[in-house]
Every structure is written in structure tokens, then in C-alpha cells.
Structure 1
């Protein structure tokens, strides 16, 4: 981790307009560069150089669009977050699939949604997926998972046999029904954040995006008739007539919940606070920020006053890893 130099962070912050990042303590011997190599499948200088030439990145199959966020007026009655006192906040969204192949088939169950809420003086970013559980609780296991999955079925079986968190993740994904639209999914922020309440106390919470029209799974027959690439066109056509809309909640932790472990799903009975509504309508799709959204990163540690990062090591490594990946492809 220490190998990631301060000068690179300063350089990155200049063109991503994000604050300086606090890297996690030395909980792993792996550097940020090694973690990015594990995700990209570039374990040596030859593959790394080849990856730079093709601008290799995770979530390569994706696209950007836009909309608006409308905060719940009642949220500030319980949470001391001035950001949510605004009436309308512009949204930049990127929907994607996992993996480094920009031509990967849309016929998979995994869906990802990243958002930038750009307010008057502050911003709030989200990095979410339709999986409620993560596959690793620490950076060593993250590195091992990414390395082993690149080995195909043999590596996956090794993970199932040796890593309980990875096994639980594979079992979850296996049961996850595919959908015919990005709009038909719930999205989860598996990492925890700390929220300041109006009484000055701090409570841990996780983001959950609930589609207003509910989760709609595609039947096997319906999915079989789809072409390999349909998700971008489907969402573009959809929002041309009616927006795709999600209610944003914070699921609040109980005193006994493990806050810093994204492999643990909190019980559904936990209290939820309605934060507002995300409305994806394409209203700024012709704007430069949308057209050039891949020239920046979605930084989950870009937070307004009243929200801070938990001690989750996965969360605290994300920004530095995203910046490292960004630098490599630019």
C-alpha cells in the first residue's frame, strides 16, 4: 500500500477534482498497483503494458446517462447532512457489467450502477451492484479472489473449497435472476458509511436503491431471445418515454452488526431511512460531463458533510485503486 506514491495521488486529484485520500493502514502486503493488476489480469510487465495500450479497465462494458436526485424533505429531521437540503441535485450515472471485456455479453446476472450527485458546493458518489454481499472482507482475500477467478473453473473451485466468503458469494450470484433492464434491479452499497444524526451521534449505514416499479426478473425464454448486447439500448429507449426511478434508502446498523465487513448482510429487519429518489431521465445526456464521464472516476469516498467512511478496508482502498486504474488508461 505504501508503494502508492503521494505524488501520484496529488496528480490524480488535480484531474478528478476529489480530496486527498487517506489510505488504509498496512493491513496487507499487497500494493494498490498489485490489486489493480489482479483485477485486470496483468501480473507482469508485458501484460501490464499491453493493458495500458488497450486502456484496460474493470466494468469496461458500460455507458453513461443522466438525471436528477430529489432528496426526501424529512431526511434532515433525523440526519445532519446539509447536502440533502437542496431540492434537486444533478445526477451523472454509469451502468455497467463486471469484467474487463468491453464486448462481454449482457446475458449475465450481474448489474452495476455508479452515480455522481453534484450539488451546489458538494458532491456525493455511489458505487453499487445488484449483489447484496461481497466476496472478500480484506485486501488479501480480494487479491486472491481476483487472481483465482482469472484461472477459470479450476480457480473458482479452489475459492469454493478454501474461501468461505467467496463460496457464499458464488452461491448468491447463482441464485440471482437475470433482468432485461438495468432499471429492473435493486442496487446495494455493500460497504458501510458513518452518518451524523441531529443529536450529534454517529450511526453506521449502507446504501440501498429500490426500483420504484419493483425487481422484474426475465424468464429463461425471454432472456434466450435477447441479443448479446441489449441493455444500453433498452434503457435509452425506456427513459425516452418514462424515467427509470429508484428510492434511495440508508439501512441503519444495529449495535451488534459488523460494520466493517462487506461479506456480511445485515438482517432485512434493520431500520431504513428514506433519503430521496434517483430519477434517470437522460436530461443532460448531451452535456460534456455525460459525454466525457469516462474521463473521471466514481469515487465512493467523495462525501458531503455529515457522512464519513467506515473502517472497512475494502471501501478505503477503492479510491486509490480507481485512480491507479484511471492513470493507467490515460
Structure 2
């Protein structure tokens, strides 16, 4: 028996289904580009604002452009295992690849004691999903959401006459964002250590740990050094003095930090990284980070890694902190851009990192 042709409405639905997927993809790209919401903070908008604020680009990270690769391992203490089922809190000798960097857009900028320093880590349990985290040394982030980030980058736009941000524009940013003043004051008065090795690094954003029984706990974390902490002592005339000291330290002995988990109290803000948490919150020592190897980013193991804070294993979840989405989107766009660019040598070259013994050979 000959098959009856489908009624016109059904044919229309079939054709609609065929076209729905590419149409949805096209709309998604338009939405991501901000075509339907000119005021929306998009990846391209953030990259453009970073460029105007002096980001070098050309194959380097758009922010935290000057850095070096490190590696080592993490040993869990077990003290946080009841809060999270993530393997990293249960296992010993988890391999780690990391990166120390300065929060500058220029990869050849001179080291400066007051520049924000960062520690980024990739934990790689042998038989479990990895975990990536990026931490800075100021104790709190003086930005609340995507619009704060965009406004801040705009305020940092370089004046063509000086090559530096216009002080009036920077001052205006503070005046129009009074809710960020307390966080900025805390950071401005923070203790500045002598270098990377004796610095403390903070997650800034909040995350949610989930235990095997489904219990969830909001936390922030901090890497606290076991090395003696001394005040900053900048070396005049040495453009790479912070990295030279780090290289010397790791060549001399392994460096260690304790991963301290701070449990959110009843009045702590989970979704606002500009809010300071209570001083009497519960803390747990989750384990010890050991770093014993250092390499230039010119061929080093961290060069191709994006330390996206949303690369999380089961047992660690993002909170509803909006800055997490901003960071993730910006990191991925930065990676996409630099992957297609030719990159010159880093300021911290392989020669700079060589030991005296290897240089003789």
C-alpha cells in the first residue's frame, strides 16, 4: 500500500526540527557576543578592556602575564575528608603542576614588591578527576560582579601621554563603587612578604564542598607557607628579583604550604568575594603542598594550562559567586586568543632558571 504523504503541519514541524539546532547555535554565538544586550559584559568586551589597560597579548596571558612553572605534589591530612569526597582530600602524593605569576598585563614588567602575586595549581589524582585553582595574595577581592570587573578594567585604561592609568579615572572608580571600599582598604594595608616562597595565597571566591553523604559546606581556602615569613626587601635594579629568589629557594630546598579551609559562618557572604569573612570562623588543615621543581614557561609544563577555577572534581562545587563565571569565561577566551598567536621568549628564561651546576656542564 502506498504511504500517504504527511500532512503539511507535520512536514513543517520536521523542517523546523532540522533547522532548530543550527539556529540555536547561531543565536548562542550572537548572545555570547552581546548582540541582544549591548550592556552585557562579554568575553570580547573584557579582552578589549584588558587590552586598553595595557595587556601585552602576543601569545601571553592577558593578565598575570609574567610567570614561571613549578611542580611537586600534595599530601592530604585527612582533616577535610569528612567535608568532601574529592580525591585530593583523601590521597597522598597527588601530582601538582603550578604557576607563580605577577598580576600584570606586561610579561616583561619589572618585579615590584607591591604587585599582586598569584599561585595557580592543577591537582592530578591518578585515578580521579583533576582540580584547578587560582589564588592571589591579597586577602579579599575588591570586585563583586561582572560589571565591577568591567568598570575596574576601564578605570585602569592607559593614558597615551603617560602609559599609566589616569589617577582621576582610578579615583572616580572608587567614588562610584563605595561598596568595594572596605575590601580595597584591607588589601591596601596587607602585609607584603619578601617573595613568592613566604607569601600567603587566597582563593578569594567561595566554593561548596560536598561529602559522601550529601552534606554541603561553603568554604574559602588559603595556602599558608611553612617557610619563615619576612618583610619585603626589593632589590633595586634587578627586574626579575622576585623570580630569582624563588628560583634560588627551590634549587636550595623544597617549599611547603598548608592548605587551610575556612568554613563559612552564619553571617559570611557566599556570593560576594568583596565581603570579608569573620575572623573566628572554623579552619581545617586539609594537607601540605610541596613544590620542588621550577621551569621557564618557554616549554614548561604549565604554559598550555588554563587555571580555570571551574575545573572542579566531584566533591567541590562552585558557589553562586558571580565572579567565578567571569573568571572562567575570561580565562578561556584568553587561552583561545594566545593559542593562535606567536609568542616571544619569557622574561624568566630557561637560562635564568638553570642551576650553577647545569650551567657549568
| Residue deviations 1:100-135 (CA, integer Å, cap 9, x gap) | 111222123221111111111311111100111112
**Contact conserved, 2:47 with 2:62, CA < 8 A, in 1?**
no
Match of 2:66 in 1: 61
Alignment of 1:112 onto 2:103: no
- Per-residue deviation, 1:59: 0.8
Match of 1:71 in 2: 76
Alignment of 1:88 onto 2:93: yes
Q: Assess, with a 3 A threshold, how the Cα gap between structure 1 residues 224 and 238 changes in structure 2: closer, same or farther.
A: closer
Alignment of 1:149 onto 2:156: yes
Give the alignment partner of residue 158 of structure 1, picking from 154, 168, 172: 172
Q: Assess, with a 3 A threshold, how the Cα gap between structure 1 residues 55 and 257 changes in structure 2: closer, same or farther.
A: closer
Q: Assess, with a 3 A threshold, how the Cα gap between structure 1 residues 55 and 285 changes in structure 2: closer, same or farther.
A: closer
Give the alignment partner of residue 275 of structure 1, picking from 276, 281, 286: 286
Alignment of 1:188 onto 2:202: yes
Alignment of structure 1 residues 237-276 onto 2, 5 Å: 237-276=248-287
> Please, which runs of 5 or more residues in structure 2 have no aligned partner?
1-25, 158-164, 340-361
**Contact conserved, 2:202 with 2:222, CA < 8 A, in 1?**
yes
Give the alignment partner of residue 139 of structure 1, picking from 141, 146, 160: 146
**Contact conserved, 1:64 with 1:290, CA < 8 A, in 2?**
no
Give the alignment partner of residue 330 of structure 2, picking from 304, 313, 321: 321
Q: What is the TM-score normalised by the length of structure 1?
A: 0.82
Q: Assess, with a 3 A threshold, how the Cα gap between structure 1 residues 290 and 66 changes in structure 2: closer, same or farther.
A: farther
CA distance in 1, matches of 2:189, 2:49: 26
Query: Relative to structure 2, which stretch is displaced further, 54-63 or 84-93?
Result: 54-63
**Contact conserved, 1:40 with 1:58, CA < 8 A, in 2?**
no
Which of structures 1 and 2 has the bigger CA Rg? 2
Q: Assess, with a 3 A threshold, how the Cα gap between structure 1 residues 53 and 195 changes in structure 2: closer, same or farther.
A: closer
Q: Assess, with a 3 A threshold, how the Cα gap between structure 1 residues 173 and 3 changes in structure 2: closer, same or farther.
A: farther
Match of 1:19 in 2: none
CA distance in 2, matches of 1:241, 1:4: 52
| Residue deviations 1:119-176 (CA, integer Å, cap 9, x gap) | 1131111110011111211111110011102243111111222212443344333323
CA distance in 1, matches of 2:336, 2:285: 36
Q: Assess, with a 3 A threshold, how the Cα gap between structure 1 residues 123 and 305 changes in structure 2: closer, same or farther.
A: same
RMSD: 2.8
**Contact conserved, 2:208 with 2:318, CA < 8 A, in 1?**
yes
Instruction: Extract structure 1 runs of 4+ deviating beyond 3 A.
Output: 2-6, 51-56, 165-170
- Per-residue deviation, 1:318: 1.6
Give the alignment partner of residue 307 of structure 1, picking from 309, 316, 328: 316
Q: Assess, with a 3 A threshold, how the Cα gap between structure 1 residues 289 and 255 changes in structure 2: closer, same or farther.
A: farther
**Contact conserved, 1:208 with 1:249, CA < 8 A, in 2?**
yes
| Residue deviations 1:261-295 (CA, integer Å, cap 9, x gap) | 0001101210012111111111x859x99714222
**Contact conserved, 1:186 with 1:208, CA < 8 A, in 2?**
yes
> Please, which runs of 5 or more residues in structure 1 have no aligned partner?
9-25
Q: Assess, with a 3 A threshold, how the Cα gap between structure 1 residues 232 and 185 changes in structure 2: closer, same or farther.
A: same
Q: What is the TM-score normalised by the length of structure 2?
A: 0.75
CA distance in 1, matches of 2:113, 2:167: 17
Secondary structure in 1 matching 2:252:
coil
Alignment of 1:176 onto 2:184: no
